[in-house]
């Protein structure tokens, strides 16, 4: 009975929004009604208590998400081409399309389309340089479902900065962000997520790469009651490089599970992952680094690293490498570290005039400084984020 009430509420939300893709939303909702939450035995989801998510209380009636996009004229929007738009949206819930890119269909990808609020698809022209700024800011409400696609056409160079600003109330975020890198394109993407202590968050970044392309993906995340982040890269053709970096700062009772999943699907491909966390109080971080190669693939070089700073006895950080290698001519490796701040380093800084608090703060900022510098943030944006993090720490 309760499930029927939720379904009726979601259908009313779709009818009130009246998007031009309403038929797609209803189709997704019908599939959602037949889909259950991911089971506890699923490796990607077993660390998360999904029963905490307050679906029964999700009203959606006054949900208002302000999305702004700054971009020049070197693009076209597919919002005017509804059929092209629908094909891309279906990757989230139509298995016969998702399987072409080795993506799974789950509860949250379907829900994202059923309740989609702000959808933006930007098709960058060939052989051009473009800088894109995407900002999602929650204004009111308890559910936010943005969907963004950037298509970097052949020979293009694209810099993307995405910011997500949460709301100081209990709310659910469920977003999708696609990067489609065509041949010989170069894409740098950074997302910064500022979540409050009251938000549940489920974000998917999906990267589809073609021949001779390069994608650099950076994810910086703070806050949230509980949630799951995915970075899913699919290297479809030869001579592709993917780099994924990320950071999570957790305090109080925050929980975040980040899964970086790279599938090498052709010859001579390279990928690398670097993920860091700082956790204190009762916060909990889980990192899953997944690397996969099918049979008969040659010349693959892939590795991952996970470093964790644990500042409190009740804080927790877990590292779960997941390597599925079915080929022989492949180089794969992983490594992880976990510990507190170096006491000798703290003492050294104190001998140079810093007090203990200042020394610890400096070391923690230094811990993630390389990630910030590697991202495509501007110098002003780097300074702003480090200042924000310094105050949190």
Which tens digit of pLDDT belongs to each residue from 319-328? 999 888 888 8
Closest CA relative to residue 189, chosen from 209, 217, 208: 217
SS (H, E, C) 42-103: CCCCCCCCHHHCCHHHCCCCCCEEEEEEECCCCEEEHHHCHHHHHHHHHHHCCHHHHHHHCC
pLDDT confidence band for 2 (50 / 70 / 90): very low
Please say whether the beta carbons of 174 and 202 come within 8 A: yes
Cα 53 → chain centroid: 19
Say what the pLDDT of residue 124 is.
92
pLDDT tops 90 at residue 364:
no
DSSP lists the bridge partners of residue 235 as: 209, 264
Map residue 41 onto helix, strand or coil.
coil
pLDDT confidence band for 13 (50 / 70 / 90): confident
Which tens digit of pLDDT belongs to each residue from 59-83? 887 789 999 999 887 666 665 567 7
Closest CA relative to residue 385, chosen from 230, 247, 205: 247
Please say whether the beta carbons of 328 and 299 come within 8 A: no
Say what the pLDDT of residue 360 is.
82
* Angle subtended at Cα 117 by Cα 111 and Cα 119, rounded to the nearest 5 degrees: 100
Say what the pLDDT of residue 355 is.
82
Report pTM: 0.94
- Please compute, for residue 225, the number of CA atoms within 13 A of its CA located in the half-sphere on the CB side: 16
Which tens digit of pLDDT belongs to each residue from 150-193? 999 999 999 999 999 999 999 999 999 999 999 999 999 999 99
Say what the pLDDT of residue 5 is.
54
Which tens digit of pLDDT belongs to each residue from 195-227? 999 999 999 999 999 999 999 999 999 999 999
The pLDDT > 90 percentage for the chain reads: 64
Mean pLDDT of 352-362: 81
pLDDT tops 50 at residue 305:
yes
> What is the DSSP secondary structure assignment for residue 66, as one 8-state letter?
E
Q: What is the CA radius of gyration of the chain?
A: 21
pLDDT tops 50 at residue 281:
yes
Cα 204 → chain centroid: 5
* Angle subtended at Cα 4 by Cα 29 and Cα 37, rounded to the nearest 5 degrees: 60
Closest CA relative to residue 227, chosen from 249, 254, 247, 201: 201
Pairwise CA distance, residues 138 & 233, whole Å? 28
pLDDT tops 50 at residue 23:
yes
pLDDT confidence band for 271 (50 / 70 / 90): very high
């Amino acid at each position: 009975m309760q499930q029927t009430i939720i379904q009726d509420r979601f259908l009313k939300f779709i009818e009130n929004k009246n998007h031009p893709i309403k038929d797609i939303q209803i189709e997704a909702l019908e599939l959602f009604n037949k889909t259950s939450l991911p089971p506890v035995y699923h490796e990607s989801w077993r660390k998360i208590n999904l029963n905490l998510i307050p679906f029964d209380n999700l009203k959606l009636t006054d949900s208002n998400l302000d999305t702004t996009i700054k971009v020049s004229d070197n693009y076209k929007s597919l919002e005017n081409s509804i059929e092209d738009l629908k094909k891309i949206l279906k990757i989230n819930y139509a298995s016969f399309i998702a399987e072409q890119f080795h993506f799974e269909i789950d509860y949250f990808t379907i829900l994202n389309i059923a309740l989609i609020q702000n959808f933006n698809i930007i098709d960058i022209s060939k052989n051009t340089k473009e800088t894109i700024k995407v900002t999602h800011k929650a204004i009111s409400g308890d559910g936010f479902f943005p969907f963004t696609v950037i298509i970097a056409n052949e020979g293009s160079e694209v810099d993307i900065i995405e910011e997500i600003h949460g709301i100081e109330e209990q709310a659910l975020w469920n977003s999708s962000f696609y990067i489609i890198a065509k041949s010989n394109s170069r894409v740098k993407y950074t997302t910064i997520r500022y979540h409050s202590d009251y938000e549940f968050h489920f974000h998917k970044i999906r990267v589809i790469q073609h021949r001779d392309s390069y994608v650099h993906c950076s994810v910086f995340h703070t806050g949230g009651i509980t949630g799951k982040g995915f970075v899913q890269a699919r290297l479809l053709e030869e001579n592709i490089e993917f780099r994924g970096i990320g950071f999570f700062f957790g305090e109080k009772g925050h929980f975040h599970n980040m899964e970086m999943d790279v599938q090498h699907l052709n010859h001579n491909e390279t990928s690398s992952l670097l993920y860091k966390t700082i956790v204190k109080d009762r916060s909990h971080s889980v990192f899953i680094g997944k690397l996969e190669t099918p049979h008969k693939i040659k010349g693959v070089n892939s590795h991952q690293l996970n470093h964790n700073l644990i500042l409190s006895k009740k804080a927790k950080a877990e590292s779960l490498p997941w390597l599925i290698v079915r080929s022989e001519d492949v180089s794969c490796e992983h490594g992880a570290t976990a510990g507190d701040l170096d006491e000798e380093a703290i003492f050294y800084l104190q001998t140079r005039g810093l007090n203990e608090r200042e020394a610890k703060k400096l070391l923690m900022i230094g811990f993630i400084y390389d990630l910030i510098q590697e991202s495509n943030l501007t110098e002003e944006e780097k300074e702003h984020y480090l200042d924000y993090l310094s105050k949190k720490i």
